[in-house]
Homo-oligomer: A and B are copies of this chain.
Amino acid sequence: MEPGDAARPGPGRVVRALRPRLLLLPLLPLLLGRGLRAGAAASSSGAAAEDSSAMEELATEKEAEESHRQDSVSLLTFILLLTLTILTIWLFKHRRVPFLHETGLAMIYGLIVGVILRYGTPATSGRDKSLSCTQEDRAFSTLLVNVSGKFFEYTLKGEISPGKINSVEQNDMLRKVTFDPEVFFNILLPPIIFHAGYSLKKRHFFRNLGSILAYAFLGTAVSCFIIGNLMYGVVKLMKIVGQLSDKFYYTDCLFFGAIISATDPVTVLAIFNELHADVDLYALLFGESVLNDAVAIVLSSSIVAYQPAGLNTHAFDAAAFFKSVGIFLGIFSGSFTMGAVTGVVTALVTKFTKLHCFPLLETALFFLMSWSTFLLAEACGFTGVVAVLFCGITQAHYTYNNLSVESRSRTKQLFEVLHFLAENFIFSYMGLALFTFQKHVFSPIFIIGAFVAIFLGRAAHIYPLSFFLNLGRRHKIGWNFQHMMMFSGLRGAMAFALAIRDTASYARQMMFTTTLLIVFFTVWIIGGGTTPMLSWLNIRVGVEEPSEEDQNDRRWQYFRVGVDPDQDPPPNNDSFQVLQGDGPDSAGGNRTKQESAWIFRLWYSFDHNYLKPILTHSGPPLTTTLPAWCGLLARCLTSPQVYDNQEPLREEDSDFILTEGDLTLTYGDSTVTANGSSGSHTASTSLEGRRTKSSSEEVLERDLGMGDQKVSSRGTRLVFPMGDNA
């Protein structure tokens, strides 16, 4: 070691010299990229030989401390960035400037700090940091190094492209603020995704489930395929122009299509919330973005797994293709199952124990079970993030009902904070990465091509899918909604996390840079343009939260509330006939409607008659729904509360989950429910013979109507004013 280095004491530094902790702060090295740890790296200069063993030890300790301190400083940088973001966003909210979302702001601050770090800090630490040790034939994960009789253990950090060895180590600080890419995927994304699942407004979500699934699955696949092909054209063009300096295969293009197909309209949805825009549009956009994240992850994994039989052939291979499809289905269903199973287990545990007397225990259990989903899925080779999403949905649908009132707010708030921190962290990191990331490959042609491709890719699924969906939907998705969905194709945290996960090859680096720019552009431009777009497209906004006295005036509310009038015809009694399968109109799509109606009715009735009674304290007693020979089992599974007070318990339904600011949205939708209820009630009361069938419809209607703002207003449901109307 160099004498000058060892002689650099810091106040109080010496006291931390507990011996063999080389990676002092496990949180920090974990979080902070452990690129070549130049600060702590040893110099291989000749002076080392004569140092005594004790001095060496001390020097290593000092280096480790220095590294630890740098880690702390870098993490502190991010915390200050987030603090600044919070304060500024408060200022914007306080001054009623709702058009800049915190994520956009976080990116801007990140960008500024990135520029400062890049150009403001000393360029190089000027020390000889690395040591080459020519090895046998391959890399080992662990290396035992014998240094004059002492054994030291080394862990493999990753491969470094030979050309970069000298260039990457120019700036300590830049490397310090570069995180391990897997942090995003395994630490920051799960709370974001879980929160999305846990706060899905299930009422609107389920009402639009068919369309959401179509957009999320078919749409993402179409988008991925179209973007992939367009980009392959762009790559061909680049080859011709001579702008491509390394390999770029067709599978790479498809991979790019997959990662960039994950939409994340976080800013648009925030503005929708702020402006109280149409709830169905909100549900469509939110549901699509949540599910297509999952689809994009699994799709990109499947594309990576596509490996034709022969080595290095990137031609089409049917067997490999079907294997990829199989993997897609396997991973997706496996992750789904994991998530659902953990959710169900949590529901059962919270139902059959009286844990709700101890909200702290309950919350801790809920948190642990939700986390275990992630680990379980990862341990089984599935995708933890996807499992966490479906776990969140299951927890919200069942477990939430069993929690105590305090635990409900605790769990919601806990995941809300985690989600907020993680999301803003990712976005500020994105801003930072634009300048501090060391392997950018800026290719103007590729970038322009990508912008065109994502535009076309989104257009190519929104409009055709909407057309087909409209054949089967009673509430058509109008042109203005389609345009808005088209417009809201922002890219965000998921695309970034997928892109940064692998930046080893030239193609992946180019993708990463392009993804970053796309995220920037879409979040800033589209985020800022949402409000003008809403008014330009004539989408109704400004459904305000009704005050107490307003709530009594149902009729007033009816006129203020709801979707765009030219979109949504005044409600009539047959608006539930979509699900009953006997609507008089849209004869062409009747079959589709009937089928979806049948499927969803089946699910609802199953859910209501069996799943909810088994997993929660609500629903009809199992003794009435299960066949007689299951009597004993039914009695065991049915909680006594169900017999006592079926109605009050029903009101604790999980559809009542509202995050802040959602109140109005849910409430604003009540006319449609009222409409549906009224239609269904007519059916069940007028047709005495259809009792069995209408009971399941009643269930459905009740489930759909569960989102009313006040539990206490349940007694005077919106059915009644509508009855006056009709």
Taking Cβ atoms with an 8 Å cutoff, the residues of A that contact B are 1, 10-31, 34-38, 40-42, 44, 48-49, 51-52, 54, 56, 60, 63-65, 67-69, 72-73, 75-76, 79-80, 82-83, 86-87, 89-91, 93-94, 129-162, 165, 180-183, 186-187, 301-302, 304-305, 311-312, 327, 330-331, 334, 349, 353-355, 357-361, 363-365, 367-369, 371-372, 375-376, 378-382, 410, 413-414, 416-417, 420-421, 501-502, 504-505, 660
Contact B141 A137 (CB under 8 A): no
- Contacting residues, chain B, for A149 (C-beta < 8 A): 162
Give the distance in Å from the alpha carbon of A379 to the alpha carbon of B79 in the complex. 13
Contact A137 B421 (CB under 8 A): no
- What is the distance, in angstroms, from A687's C-beta to the closest C-beta of chain B? 48
- Out of B24, B90, B187, which one reaches A27, CB within 8 Å? B187
Contact A69 B132 (CB under 8 A): no
- Contacting residues, chain B, for A51 (C-beta < 8 A): 138
Contact A60 B187 (CB under 8 A): no
Q: A29-B30, A48-B137, A67-B141 are in contact. List 4 more A-B contacts (CB 8 A).
A: A38-B142, A42-B138, A83-B365, A144-B160
Contact B138 A1 (CB under 8 A): yes
- Out of B65, B72, B143, B334, which one reaches A375, CB within 8 Å? B72
- Out of B72, B94, B165, which one reaches A378, CB within 8 Å? B72
Q: How many copies does the complex hold?
A: 2
5 tightest A-B CB contacts, nearest first: A30-B30, A154-B154, A42-B140, A72-B379, A12-B381
- Out of B21, B312, B358, B376, which one reaches A90, CB within 8 Å? B358
- Out of B27, B56, B158, B375, which one reaches A21, CB within 8 Å? B158
Give the distance in Å from the alpha carbon of A82 to the alpha carbon of B91 in the complex. 42
Q: Decide: A36 near B142, CB < 8 A? Known: A83-B368, A369-B83.
A: yes
Give the distance in Å from the alpha carbon of A540 to the alpha carbon of B660 in the complex. 46
Give the distance in Å from the alpha carbon of A380 to the alpha carbon of B28 in the complex. 15
Closest B residue to A14 using CB positions: B305
- Contacting residues, chain B, for A131 (C-beta < 8 A): 140, 142-144
Q: Decide: A23 near B133, CB < 8 A? Known: A14-B305, A141-B41.
A: no
Contact B141 A182 (CB under 8 A): no
Closest B residue to A1 using CB positions: B138
Contact A19 B150 (CB under 8 A): no
Contact A129 B152 (CB under 8 A): no
Q: Decide: A23 near B90, CB < 8 A? Known: A135-B133, A410-B413.
A: no
Contact B87 A365 (CB under 8 A): yes
21 CB-based A-B contacts, threshold 8 Å = A11-B380, A12-B382, A17-B304, A19-B504, A20-B504, A21-B182, A25-B378, A26-B31, A36-B142, A67-B141, A69-B378, A75-B375, A76-B375, A76-B379, A94-B354, A133-B143, A135-B145, A150-B162, A364-B420, A410-B417, A414-B417
- Out of B12, B311, B363, which one reaches A327, CB within 8 Å? B12
- Contacting residues, chain B, for A305 (C-beta < 8 A): 14-15, 17
Q: Decide: A364 near B86, CB < 8 A? Known: A76-B372, A311-B52.
A: yes
- What is the distance, in angstroms, from A508's C-beta to the closest C-beta of chain B? 8
Closest B residue to A187 using CB positions: B27
- Out of B23, B159, B502, which one reaches A150, CB within 8 Å? B159
Contact B79 A371 (CB under 8 A): yes
Contact B138 A56 (CB under 8 A): yes
Give the distance in Å from the alpha carbon of A147 to the alpha carbon of B134 in the complex. 6
Give the distance in Å from the alpha carbon of A91 to the alpha carbon of B361 in the complex. 11
- Contacting residues, chain B, for A44 (C-beta < 8 A): 136, 140
Contact B132 A139 (CB under 8 A): no
- Out of B1, B146, B156, which one reaches A22, CB within 8 Å? B156
- Contacting residues, chain B, for A160 (C-beta < 8 A): 144, 151-153
Contact A79 B158 (CB under 8 A): no
- What is the distance, in angstroms, from A110's C-beta to the closest C-beta of chain B? 15
Contact A16 B417 (CB under 8 A): no
Q: Decide: A155 near B154, CB < 8 A? Known: A30-B26, A361-B90.
A: yes
Contact B372 A140 (CB under 8 A): no
- What is the distance, in angstroms, from A88's C-beta to the closest C-beta of chain B? 10
- Contacting residues, chain B, for A73 (C-beta < 8 A): 375, 379
Closest B residue to A131 using CB positions: B140
Contact A368 B22 (CB under 8 A): no
- Out of B34, B65, B90, which one reaches A155, CB within 8 Å? B34
- What is the distance, in angstroms, from A36's C-beta to the closest C-beta of chain B? 5
Give the distance in Å from the alpha carbon of A501 to the alpha carbon of B16 in the complex. 11
Closest B residue to A49 using CB positions: B137
- Contacting residues, chain B, for A16 (C-beta < 8 A): 301, 381
- Contacting residues, chain B, for A372 (C-beta < 8 A): 76, 79-80, 83
- Out of B150, B162, B354, which one reaches A151, CB within 8 Å? B162
Contact A181 B139 (CB under 8 A): no
Contact A40 B141 (CB under 8 A): yes
Contact A37 B360 (CB under 8 A): no
